[in-house]
């Protein structure tokens, strides 16, 4: 976490670390990884709510935990903009980041160039999150 600002460090210390490096092909290890992911998501969501910084809801759309759906939103000038959110966990996860899709924006915005630096980039209405951000 060297080089990160104090707010980011403080946030990350409040989220349970992910210790299991496993993907959807790894059977029981993947189940353990999903449990860790849920614990981290719950902690992060609760922290955001307590700081009045709530901005997304997601849940697994299938029992295997490889398809996720939800909502994300942004408030600007007292108007709430809400979008559907969906993504699939790649079979090579956590080495490969999931592509977060906002289908309602498909075809409505310019293509945004990918940024070569972590933790995320935006391209074709998909948000790419660097897996190293999740594996702490």
CATH (domain of 78) = 3.10.110.10
What total of structural domains would you count in the chain? 1
Q: Is residue 92 part of a domain?
A: yes
| Mean pLDDT across the chain | 82
| 110 pLDDT tier (thresholds 50, 70, 90) | low
Residue 83 in contact with residue 100, Cβ under 8 Å?
no
Q: Which of 36, 40, 39, 41 is nearest to 23 (CA)?
A: 36
Residue 108 has pLDDT above 80, yes or no: no
| 117 pLDDT tier (thresholds 50, 70, 90) | very low
Whether the predicted model's global pTM rises above the 0.85 cut? no
What pLDDT, on the 0 to 100 scale, is given for residue 113? 52
Residue 34 in contact with residue 46, Cβ under 8 Å?
no
Q: Is residue 1 part of a domain?
A: no
What pLDDT, on the 0 to 100 scale, is given for residue 136? 30
Q: Is residue 107 part of a domain?
A: yes
Q: Percentage of residues in the chain with pLDDT exceeding 70?
A: 79
What pLDDT, on the 0 to 100 scale, is given for residue 104? 87
Domain around 102: 6-134
Taking CA atoms, 127 is separated from 39, 100, 103, 116, in Å, by: 23, 5, 12, 13
> Percent helix, strand and coil across the chain, each rounded to 5?
30, 25, 45
Structure tokens that stand for 28 in this block: 């029981």
CB within 8 Å of 40: residues ≥ 6 apart: 15, 16, 17, 18
- CA 64 to CA 34: how far, in whole Å? 9
Segment 52-105, tens digit of pLDDT:
989 999 999 999 999 999 999 988 899 999 999 999 999 999 999 999 898 888
Structure tokens that stand for 19 in this block: 């210790």
């Amino acid at each position: 976490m060297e080089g990160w600002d104090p707010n980011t460090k403080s946030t990350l210390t409040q989220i349970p670390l992910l210790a299991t490096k496993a993907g959807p092909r790894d059977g029981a290890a993947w189940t353990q990884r999903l449990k860790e992911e849920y614990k981290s998501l719950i902690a992060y969501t609760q922290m955001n709510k307590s700081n009045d910084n709530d901005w997304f809801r997601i849940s697994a759309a299938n029992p295997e935990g490889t398809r996720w759906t939800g909502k994300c939103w942004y408030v600007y000038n007292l108007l709430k903009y809400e979008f559907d959110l969906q993504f699939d966990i790649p079979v090579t996860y956590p080495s490969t980041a999931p592509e977060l899709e906002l289908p309602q924006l498909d075809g409505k915005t310019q293509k945004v160039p990918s940024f070569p630096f972590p933790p995320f980039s935006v391209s074709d209405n998909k948000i790419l999150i660097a897996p190293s951000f999740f594996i702490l």
